[in-house]
Structure 1
Amino acid sequence: MSLLKRFFCHLPALGFIALGLGLQAADWPQYLGPGRDAVYPGQALTRAWPSGGPKVLWRKRDIGAGMSGLVVAKGRVILFHEVNRYDTIECLDVKTGKSLWKNNYASSFVAGYGSSAGPRATPAIIGDRVYTMGGQGIVVCTDFATGKTIWKVDTQKSYRASDGFFGMACSPLVEGNAVLLNIGGEAGAGIVALDKNSGKLLWKTLEDEASYSSPVLATLHGKHRAVFFTRTGLAVIDPASGKIDFQNRWRARIHASVNAAAPLVVGERIFVTSSYNTGALVVQAATDGYETLWSNDTSLSSQYTSVMHRDGFLYGTHGRADAPPTPALRCVELATGKVRWSEDDFGDCLMMLCGDRLLALMETGELVLGQASPAGWKEISRAQVVGSGARSQPALANGRLFVRDRNQLVCLEMP
């Protein structure tokens, strides 16, 4: 089995918008949560779980294929999956799991390198609309109340976008009137902005191929910016015009590689990380541009897991899912790259922070809760909550955790 094929067996779905749009304070409306930083804004998780694990509130069996993450807003959950060769956007009731509506379209996507079928990118719930992108690059805007299609754009036909090694995986980022996506299209359509109301092109820029990372928003040196981590590297862009502020090539020298973790912005600093002998990079916005603070391949080189920040420290995994050694969980100083501690052989996982609690969904289907601080790692609880092959970013909203594997979606009570 090739390294790329083995890698993709572990690749997850690659999905400040909350109170102003009528969402509850602790909703999880888009990839990595309301701030796209894998930080839960609700009540901290302070209690250990019962011996049998968190209480199962409901379970939806026999779901379709895909690695798209789950999103939650206004008492509803969006599940994006492939059912009988149709990409299906399905809306469920948060309390019961009952299906409220479905919107689907025929999917011609064929996963490469032996990877599994279905969509990869995580939806975004913005106001009264849901934005999705399937594995073959079809972008759909759906009415959140009714499930009816408002508009649909095939980026492969319109911009000659490529599904790359494993399918398109950029989770839509909505800013102002634009839906921002790294699609890797031709003729300067590496990154595009589509009108959120019509799907029409607002601007396009760069020749960069698409990565499996998703963009984030930031204010850098007083300017509102979108930060992308394309297959080529870091790009800081004006979301209103597409004007490039800054680029830094940051990718492996070998072709058989990917950039997958989302960029992380802390104040004026931007952190990106990759594997394949590439490593981590931190740049800082300055009056005359951007400067590199540090870079190395020894501190926090994550193959796909997005890194989180708390009080000046980064928390994430170091290592590859498809090659030994098993990834370690690490705490690293943001300012210097110094490793504070390393929990070796931690494993492949997707994570989020809830106060000083770190919640990790392991690829094996285990859920791990621990206390993460610069002083060290302390595991609090561990439970098997789903089967193996858990590669979709979970969602935590209003005391409920939503987790999926290859076959089921589970809603858990988080005390």
Structure 2
Amino acid sequence: MSEQHSSQPAGVGPETQTPARRCPRVWPAAVILALQFLSQWVYAKFSTTNVQSGIELGAFTLFGTLLLIVWWLGFSRTPWRDRLLGVALFVAAVAAVVLSQANAAYGAMLLVYAVPRMLAGVVALLLVTAWLRWPVRRWVLVVYIIGCCAAHMAMRFESVGGNLAPEVSWRWNPSRLERSGAMARPGTQGTAALPEEVADGDYPAFRGPARDGRLAGVAFSTDWAAPPREVWRREVGPGWSSFIAVGDYLFTQEQRGPEEVVSCYHAGTGEEVWTNGTTALFDDDMGIGPRATPTYDRGRLYTQGATGILQCLDAATGATVWKRDLKEDAGCGVPGYGFTSSPLVTGGLVVAFTCGPEGKSAAAYDTATGDIAWFSGHKSTAYSSPQLVDIGGVPQILLNGEWGLQSLNPETGALLWGHPWSIKTFPIGTQAVVFGDTFLIGATGTTGSRIVKAEKKGEEWETAQVAATKLFRPYFNNSVEHKGYCYGYDDQRIACISMETGERRWQGEKWGGQLLLLADMDLLLVLTEKGQVVLLKADPERLVEVARFQALKGKTWNHPIIAHGRLYVRNSEEAACFQLN
């Protein structure tokens, strides 16, 4: 025994072996993190839909986290007590982040930031503190995890982007709702000198005069070596409502503290003329505030709030003429993402998408009195707006929702025809794209799009599917038709497809946002989710960018408008006007 003991190499004993045994094996964790981040980066380059974004943000993070836990428990070479306590501390930190938010769902979404930062920081600290003794390194890790957890608990979930990534702010800063409540209201209500009828160059409704995103008679220089001149810029309250423009005035909807506000601004200066407030607040993970856009008709303004308040206002003064509650009238609740449909005015009626029960998914009201004229439509939750079209000389209102595509008689609400296509997996947020007597409808995820033809044979209408594609998946980004091609969004990516065959001609970058067709210029004006204005050629052969400039800061989902030679843009924080001519 003594010989065996003496044969042990000098300087090697239990005291010197213990530190070696307890030195963490870090390289597997570094490899796991590197592969996770590389995989996410590559996947993001080729992904398109919000479902794929969810996989990128959630699934890759979860899988990487599980592998790191396996490494820590099985292969890290740290003392077993530290392994178990480390997992317990990590779980506690994750739970604290989740429970720190207004609801657990928001906290869970915040983990897509907190978990990667926490784990990447742990691995980085293990690498850079290799020269320290393990007890010291252990406490460095504990302090870092607690600090990282505290930093994310100090964040406030605000909303998500089009790619489902959470948007956050520091808790010590005012929230968007608090900032909007602090916005000054005009001391005295002004009066807008408005024309009785809309004129050329006005933009009186959601997506333009025909509510189809197409503008004719617009021309301006596309040499934006120097960007268009900024005329004015101002703060606005949160909301995804767009502007409309009539004469020298703009109208929109926004949230100001506990009130949904319809506001009128002077188009030339951005100065507020009047506001009309209703006590109502809608708040979800997409953000706070109204979603619909006002409609102007013969001196009156028709608005729909996110909680279902339908109003008729005197457009000159903002005074309420009449008011209805869609929830009470249709016997329904507030849809998951709020009432987003912009009212349609036609033939002395204002038509609203109620998302109500069978026979009440749409309602028409007398524009003068607010009395109910008719209810109609299959039960169909949707976030698109009714659109007036003419097929074979027959005026009709199209409703695109989770039931499918429905056509109603504008005067009576009678169902003319329907193309059922039940889509309950994803919200339907876009209007049908009209091309003669054919229509493109679709949804994001794995749904894709259909091109449907409607034809009257005798006294009956028939519909048939002409084409279908899985490569064009509109989410809440509306599309336009130009010379037989549809330009819009394959979820987050700008794309072009044939309206006859459904063939995708090209696909571009992940811009998100909304667009306008400038028909006479063969151009698309895109307002991206990041607030950039981009001019593209409406060319089915390839994507050609003409010019771009940064117009707004922050997430931008609102539609751009052009009226009387000026470009007006807004988002949930600010609005701006640019001179184009």
TM-score (norm 1): 0.89
Superposed CA offset, 1:317-354 (max 9, x none) = 113xxxxxxx33222221111222222x2421200011
| Residue 115 (structure 1) aligned with residue 310 (structure 2) | no
Contact kept in structure 2, 1:44 and 1:357, CA below 8 Å: no
The corresponding residue for 1:331 is 496
The corresponding residue for 1:224 is 395
The corresponding residue for 2:487 is 315
The corresponding residue for 1:350 is 514
The corresponding residue for 1:281 is 450
Instruction: Report the Cα distance in structure 1 between the residues aligned to 2:422 and 2:571, rounded to whole angstroms.
Output: 30
| Residue 92 (structure 1) aligned with residue 265 (structure 2) | yes
**Deviation (angstroms), 1:54:** 2.0
List gaps (5 residues or longer) in structure 1. Answer: 12-19, 320-326
Instruction: Report the Cα distance in structure 1 between the residues aligned to 2:211 and 2:409, rounded to whole angstroms.
Output: 18
**Deviation (angstroms), 1:8:** 6.2
| Residue 54 (structure 1) aligned with residue 220 (structure 2) | no
Instruction: Report the Cα distance in structure 1 between the residues aligned to 2:303 and 2:419, rounded to whole angstroms.
Output: 28
**Deviation (angstroms), 1:204:** 0.3
Structure 2 counterpart of 1:30, one-letter code: A
Between Structure 1 and Structure 2, the one with more helix by share is 2
The corresponding residue for 1:397 is 563
The corresponding residue for 1:368 is 534
Q: How does 1:164-203 map to 2 (within 5 A)?
A: 164-186=335-357, 188-203=359-374
Structure 2 counterpart of 1:60, one-letter code: R
Contact kept in structure 2, 1:26 and 1:41, CA below 8 Å: no
The corresponding residue for 1:161 is 332
Contact kept in structure 1, 2:444 and 2:473, CA below 8 Å: yes
Contact kept in structure 2, 1:8 and 1:166, CA below 8 Å: no
**Deviation (angstroms), 1:414:** 1.8
The corresponding residue for 2:379 is 208
The corresponding residue for 1:387 is 553
**Deviation (angstroms), 1:297:** 3.5
Counting aligned pairs with the same residue, the percent is: 26
| Residue 263 (structure 1) aligned with residue 432 (structure 2) | yes
**Deviation (angstroms), 1:384:** 1.2
| Residue 234 (structure 1) aligned with residue 400 (structure 2) | no
| Alignment CA distance shift 1:152-1:306 (3 Å) | same
Structure 1 counterpart of 2:566, one-letter code: R
- SS of residue in 2 equivalent to 1:35: coil
| Alignment CA distance shift 1:95-1:85 (3 Å) | same
Instruction: Report the Cα distance in structure 1 between the residues aligned to 2:386 and 2:580, rounded to whole angstroms.
Output: 28
Contact kept in structure 2, 1:182 and 1:190, CA below 8 Å: yes
Contact kept in structure 1, 2:439 and 2:453, CA below 8 Å: yes
Instruction: Report the Cα distance in structure 2 between the residues aligned to 1:312 and 1:365, rounded to whole angstroms.
Output: 29
Q: How does 1:24-103 map to 2 (within 5 A)?
A: 24-51=199-226, 53-61=227-235, 63-103=236-276
**Deviation (angstroms), 1:207:** 4.1
**Deviation (angstroms), 1:169:** 0.3
Instruction: Report the Cα distance in structure 2 between the residues aligned to 1:200 and 1:207, rounded to whole angstroms.
Output: 22
Instruction: Report the Cα distance in structure 1 between the residues aligned to 2:415 and 2:474, rounded to whole angstroms.
Output: 26
Q: Note the aligned Cα RMSD (angstroms).
A: 2.2
**Deviation (angstroms), 1:187:** 6.0
The corresponding residue for 1:306 is 478
Contact kept in structure 2, 1:211 and 1:230, CA below 8 Å: yes
- SS of residue in 2 equivalent to 1:156: helix
The corresponding residue for 1:324 is none
Contact kept in structure 2, 1:27 and 1:398, CA below 8 Å: yes
| Alignment CA distance shift 1:263-1:30 (3 Å) | same
Larger Rg: 2
**Deviation (angstroms), 1:73:** 0.8
Superposed CA offset, 1:231-289 (max 9, x none) = 321001101011101112224353xx200111122221222121122221222222322
| Alignment CA distance shift 1:156-1:291 (3 Å) | closer
Q: Which moved more, 1:34-43 or 1:117-126?
A: 34-43
Contact kept in structure 1, 2:404 and 2:423, CA below 8 Å: no
- SS of residue in 1 equivalent to 2:399: strand
Instruction: Report the Cα distance in structure 2 between the residues aligned to 1:253 and 1:85, rounded to whole angstroms.
Output: 32
Contact kept in structure 2, 1:184 and 1:207, CA below 8 Å: no
Count of residues in correspondence between the two structures: 393
Higher relative contact order by CA 8 Å / sep ≥ 6: 1 or 2? 1
Superposed CA offset, 1:175-202 (max 9, x none) = 1111111111246321111111111110
Superposed CA offset, 1:197-218 (max 9, x none) = 1111100013423311111111
Structure 1 counterpart of 2:445, one-letter code: Y
Between Structure 1 and Structure 2, the one with more strand by share is 1
Structure 1 counterpart of 2:393, one-letter code: G
The corresponding residue for 1:135 is 306
Structure 1 counterpart of 2:463, one-letter code: E
Structure 1 counterpart of 2:486, one-letter code: L
The corresponding residue for 1:410 is 576
Q: How does 1:2-13 map to 2 (within 5 A)?
A: 9-10=161-162
Structure 1 counterpart of 2:423, one-letter code: A
Structure 2 counterpart of 1:38, one-letter code: G
List gaps (5 residues or longer) in structure 2. Answer: 1-49, 55-104, 110-158, 164-194
Superposed CA offset, 1:105-133 (max 9, x none) = 111x3323x23111001110111001000
The corresponding residue for 1:322 is none
Instruction: Report the Cα distance in structure 1 between the residues aligned to 2:462 and 2:444, rounded to whole angstroms.
Output: 23
Contact kept in structure 2, 1:169 and 1:213, CA below 8 Å: yes
TM-score (norm 2): 0.64
**Deviation (angstroms), 1:46:** 4.0
Contact kept in structure 2, 1:251 and 1:278, CA below 8 Å: no
The corresponding residue for 2:66 is none
Instruction: Report the Cα distance in structure 1 between the residues aligned to 2:561 and 2:424, rounded to whole angstroms.
Output: 34
**Deviation (angstroms), 1:399:** 1.2
Contact kept in structure 1, 2:357 and 2:378, CA below 8 Å: yes
**Deviation (angstroms), 1:24:** 2.2
Contact kept in structure 2, 1:293 and 1:335, CA below 8 Å: no
Q: Which moved more, 1:363-372 or 1:183-192?
A: 183-192
Structure 1 counterpart of 2:528, one-letter code: M
Superposed CA offset, 1:77-96 (max 9, x none) = 00211112111111111111
Instruction: Report the Cα distance in structure 2 between the residues aligned to 1:10 and 1:249, rounded to whole angstroms.
Output: 27
